[in-house]
Amino acid sequence: MVATPIGNLEDISPRALHSLAHADAIAAEDTRVTARLLAHYRLQGNLMAVHGHNEQRAADSIVEHLARGKTVALVTDAGTPAISDPGATVVKKARAAGFRVVPIPGPNAAVTALSAAGIADGPFLFAGFLPAKPGLRRKALERLGTLPYTLVFYEAPHRVVECAEDMSTELGPERVLVIARELTKVFEQIHRCVLGEAAAWLREDTHRQRGEFVLIAEGIAARSEGTKLDWERVLTTLLAELPLAHAVKLACKLTGAKKNAVYARALQLARAATARRS
């Protein structure tokens, strides 16, 4: 399983090149794309096609090659095979038949975007492509939006604006979004904004809607923790100046926090203050 560049052809490891140069066959998602990569490095390869539609059949043919003692390098058009790309079926069948599968690591658009997103290095969820149909996409976002992880998506250029709009509706307009476009290519762009501003930013210049996209949305954990800290700080400040009921009412109004939680915390703080005084 050989990772190949996601744009800049220089982003390929010596080990990947060695493997492509010495494999008995190269199974490629699109043989024309891989032929260009091989030509760039003056390599020749015995190419065979393995795309999404023929993966089962291609997997059988690869296993036959392996059974004859041949080595097969599997590549996709860009990035790491089997990540939103063909490859998993081939791996499954090859392993089931007892052959060794060797991953040769390299570029991956999601990880490349994450490395430059400036989002805290907590857990992240790679969601791949969202459904193309708006109803299904919104449902998927609604479900993902409750999870405490940074969310990483791939998106096609003709859907990126509507996807940003749906994200803002389903995940909330205040969450941070990083739009990573054309990574490692000439027009690479990494833009950070809040979801509520993302669609307008994309619309402002049609160039911003072109190319390949990774979208990274801040997870809910960071946001709700921030909200909790905010209302507690506001409440503490108000309690020092105002009667309890008034402080609770204002803290809820200012932060949007739930009254029950704020009231319970206010009682705790008031009791603690009384205990300190007595």
Residues that bind ligand SAM (CB under 6 A): 6-7, 76, 78-80, 83-85, 108-110, 154-156, 180, 182-185, 212-214
Residue 30 beta carbon to ligand SAM: minimum distance, rounded to whole angstroms: 11
State how far the alpha carbon of 254 is from the alpha carbons of 75, 154, 180, 205, in Å: 54, 36, 34, 36
Residue closest to ligand SAM, measured at CB? 79
* Least distance to ligand SAM, CB of residue 183, Å: 3
What residues have CB less than 8 Å from 140, skipping those under 6 apart?
127, 130, 131
Smallest gap from residue 78 Cβ to ligand SAM (A) = 5
- Compare residues 79 and 257 and give the one whose CB is closer to ligand SAM: 79
Between 51 and 138, whose beta carbon lies closer to ligand SAM?
51
In degrees, to the nearest 5, what angle opens at C-alpha 150 toward C-alphas 146 and 153?
95
Of residues 29 and 170, the one with the C-beta less far from ligand SAM? 29
Cβ 203 to ligand SAM shortest distance, Å: 19
Taking Cα atoms as reference points, which of 109, 147, 159, 143 lies closest to residue 8?
109
How buried is 39 (Cβ within 10 angstroms: 0-12 exposed, 13-18 middle, 19+ buried)? Answer: exposed
Q: Of the two residues 124 and 213, which places its CB atom closer to ligand SAM in the complex?
A: 213
Cα 204 from Cα 254, distance rounded (Å): 32
Shortest distance, CB of residue 270 to ligand SAM, whole angstroms? 53
Q: Pick the closer one to ligand SAM by CB: 7 or 219.
A: 7
114: three-class secondary structure by DSSP:
helix
